Amino acid sequence: MFKSKKALVSLFLAVIMIAATIFMVITASASQSVSTQTNTQYSYNGPTPKYVFLFIGDGMSYPQINSAEIYLGKKYYGNNKNDIRMLGFSKFPVAGTCTTYDAESFVPDSASAGSSISSGIKTINAVINMDPSKKIKYKPISEMLKEKGYKIGIVSSVSIDHATPACFYAKQPSRNNYYEIAMELANSNFDFFGGGGFKLPKGKNNDQPDVIETAKKNGFTYVNTKQEILALNSESGRVIAVNPALDKDKALPYDIDRSKDDLSLADFTRKAIDVLYNSKGFFLMVEGGKIDWACHANDAGASIHDTLAFDKAVNEAVEFYNAHPKETLIIVTGDHECGGMTIGFAGTAYETFFDKIGFQTKSYLEFDKIVADYKTKKNSSNAALEDLLPAIKTSFGLISSKDPDAASNPGMVLTDYEIQRLRDALKQTMIDPKERKYNDAEKIMYGGYEPLTVTLTHILNNKAGIGWTSYSHTGLPLPVFAKGLGQELFDGYYDNTDIFKKLCTIMKVSR
Ligand SMILES: [Zn+2]
């Protein structure tokens, strides 16, 4: 049949090559299909939780949590014992770790990090539940659970149209579309929104249909007094509850500045539970939004107090869990670290003095008001640090060597180097922000903050043994604490998009 032995060998080689090619194609397509499924499959055979809590401490990673625990330990034990006092959620039975990088950066913002948690996608900074090209919209877990019959609640200590809460009810190409985001809230079929207010309720030019009026037409009850909010219960229907005390950004005050009469994040969490409680179940997302803002400003005292307030909010869910242990899941995590906060500083080496943070009585933002008032009375030629020393003492506990308390409290005495830093900062503070011309060193010393105030928090924090590397977020991984049905899935080291995937598995939903 074959004309020669050579032809037979050629045919044999050709067959081998074709077979090898087919094998390579099959192998390649198989590995491709495997790679698209990597880490997407989890298994859970337990009962589906009826009540699901997701707490997000914005800007909260290990340093923010542990610094609050060291602060509590110092407060509780004094200098008698070197120990921490754990937070309620850091005692949860399961603690995993997640990575936070987004589609373009190892340092995400709240929008891309929030989208990873809420809808399981990697996107770019500022984008809410949409792909990096801003064309495809993704459904967040909250919407998927609403379709399953759960009531849905969203609580935040910052404005309710801010990036993190928006990731649980909106799909927008930019987090700055505050009006469009708020209109998605007003037109949503969710059940409870509580905490901060709306940044642009009538649009950028104040000429659009009012968000609150639209929400009311859609069946929401709007309440904004303490009395009305505390009266909310499971008969209240669908509710938007806005705190009566709001800052210029429509957020709750920092917890360190909160008056005892004002509502707290824990109060809003408890009222959300009261409104949402029903036999079919609910999903509640609570954001502690100002841990992040405090860390942007490098203010450890404000961060620690907001982390403690966040822990108290989680405790409301733990109390609910104790009454419904066989039906509840609580997850507590962050979205990214902020500030590059570190326990340990070059100036204090192996020692820390967290008791010094206890002298701080107000946030950087409240001290900024004292500075603003001073600027109305003085100018660059007659401003003097000595004028502000009494306010510095009552706000941060820092004192000059001439202060009568200097001998009894030497740890809080400002060194000559620190006094010089404050004098340099005051000079910049007295210049109109638009006229300030920072050199490279000043850019790093002051960021975008009031130079005198940020220098004071830096000095106090450094004296306590706390360091900062940034006025922005960082790429540090985050803890994920879990308690309740399906808690075991949150053990291990995984990506933040896996929080969504694990929740989908436990809740038996898919997109
Ligand atoms: Zn954030």
pLDDT at position 7 is 54
488: Cβ contacts below 8 Å, ≥ 6 apart:
94
Backbone φ and ψ for 77, nearest 5 degrees, come out as: -95, -15
- The answer on pLDDT for 10 being more than 60 is no
Other CB atoms within a 10 A radius of the CB of residue 442 amount to: 15
The alpha carbon of 318 and the centre of ligand 1 are apart by a number of angstroms equal to 24
pLDDT of residue 18: 52
Mean pLDDT score, 202-209: 97
pLDDT at 154: 98
Res. 32 pLDDT band, cuts 50 70 90? very low
Question: Which DSSP string do the residues of 282-344 spell out, in sequence order?
Answer: EEEEEEETHHHHHHHTT-HHHHHHHHHHHHHHHHHHHHHHHHSTTTEEEEEEES-EETT-EE-
- Nearest Cα residue to 411 out of 396, 390, 430: 396
What is the DSSP track for 436-505? ----HHHHHHHTTS-HHHHHHHHHHHHHHTEE---SSEE---EEEEEEETTGGGG-SEEETHHHHHHHHH
Confidence tier at 23 by pLDDT (50, 70, 90):
very low
Distance 74 CA to ligand 1 centre (A): 28
β-bridge partners, 484:
329
Encoded tokens for 396: 């941060």
* Per-residue pLDDT at 323: 98
Q: Which residue in the block uniquely carries the two structure tokens 């004292």?
A: 370
- d(Cα 310, Cα 166) in Å, to the nearest integer? 19
Quote the pLDDT of residue 35: 30
Residue 2: pLDDT above 50? no
CB atoms within 10 A of CB 466: 30
CA 59–ligand 1 middle distance (angstroms)? 5
> Separation of 114 CA from ligand 1 center, angstroms?
7
How far apart are the CA of 468 and the centre of ligand 1, in A?
Answer: 17
Read off the amino acid at residue 179: Y
Ligand 1 mean position, distance from CA 158 (Å): 11
Is pLDDT of 26 > 60?
no
- Taking a C-beta distance cutoff of 8 angstroms, is the pair 433, 451 a contact? no
The rounded Å distance from CA 492 to ligand 1 centre is 23
User: How far does the centroid of ligand 1 lie from the alpha carbon of residue 56, in Å?
Assistant: 9
**Three-state SS annotation for 217-267:** HCCCEEECCHHHHHCCCCCCCCEEEECCCCCCCCCCCCHHHCCCCCCCHHH
Examine the pLDDT at 111 and tell me if it is beyond 90.
yes
Ligand 1 centroid from CA 340, angstroms: 13
Q: Which of 192, 283, 275, 196 is nearest to 232 (CA)?
A: 275
Least trusted range by pLDDT, from 10-14, 125-129, 241-245, 421-425: 10-14
Angle between the N-to-C axes of helices 416-429 and 451-464, in degrees from 0 to 180, rounded to the nearest 10: 160
CB of 209 within 8 A of CB of 246? Answer: no
How close is the Cα of 116 to the center of ligand 1, in Å? 12
Distance from Cα 129 to the centre of ligand 1, integer Å: 15
Asked if residue 17 has pLDDT above 80, the reply is no
Return the pLDDT at 19.
Answer: 52
For residue 28, what pLDDT is reported?
40
Q: What is the pLDDT of residues 141-165, one digit of tens each?
A: 999 999 999 999 999 999 999 999 9
Q: How much of the chain, in percent, has pLDDT values that exceed 70?
A: 92
Burial of 38 (0-12, 13-18, 19+ CB in 10 A): exposed
Task: Kindly give the distance from the C-alpha atom of residue 47 to the centroid of ligand 1, in angstroms, as a whole number.
Answer: 32
- How confident is residue 6, by pLDDT bands cut at 50, 70 and 90? low
CA 292 / ligand 1 centre spacing (Å) = 6
- Predicted confidence band at 4 (pLDDT cuts at 50, 70, 90)? low
Q: How far is the CA of 112 from the centre of ligand 1 (A)?
A: 9
How remote is the CA of residue 21 from the centroid of ligand 1, in Å?
A: 49
